[in-house]
Amino acid sequence: MTTVPQPTADTRWRCTLCGNLTRFDVTRSSKVVEYVHLDLAGEPTVEEREVVSETIESVRCRWCNAVDRIELVDRPGAGS
């Protein structure tokens, strides 16, 4: 399984097949620790959530359906 790089403050995703910069379906795996509060009826509410680790497994372009054809490109004005 190949992981997809996460965008940063200076980069963003781009589909190498169609050029899409804005619409993606992202599949990710997360390991979290949650503080769950149950009310007297037993209904749970997550009051705190800490992400311990997170991995992006795949990214699919919403425009052309290409899977894992994503690259990182500079954001406009990055580094200026």
How far is residue 21's CA from residue 13's CA, in Å, rounded to a whole number? 6
- Please write the tens of the pLDDT for every residue from 14-61: 999 999 999 999 999 999 999 999 999 999 999 999 999 999 989 999
- Other beta carbons within 10 angstroms of residue 1's beta carbon come to 7
| Residue ranges covered by each domain of the chain | 11-74
Beta strands in the chain (DSSP E): 11-15, 24-38, 44-61, 70-74
What confidence score (pLDDT) does residue 80 get? 55
The pTM for the full model equals: 0.71
- Other beta carbons within 10 angstroms of residue 14's beta carbon come to 20
What confidence score (pLDDT) does residue 37 get? 97
What confidence score (pLDDT) does residue 44 get? 96
Q: What is the CA radius of gyration of the chain?
A: 17
Greater confidence, 46 or 79?
Answer: 46
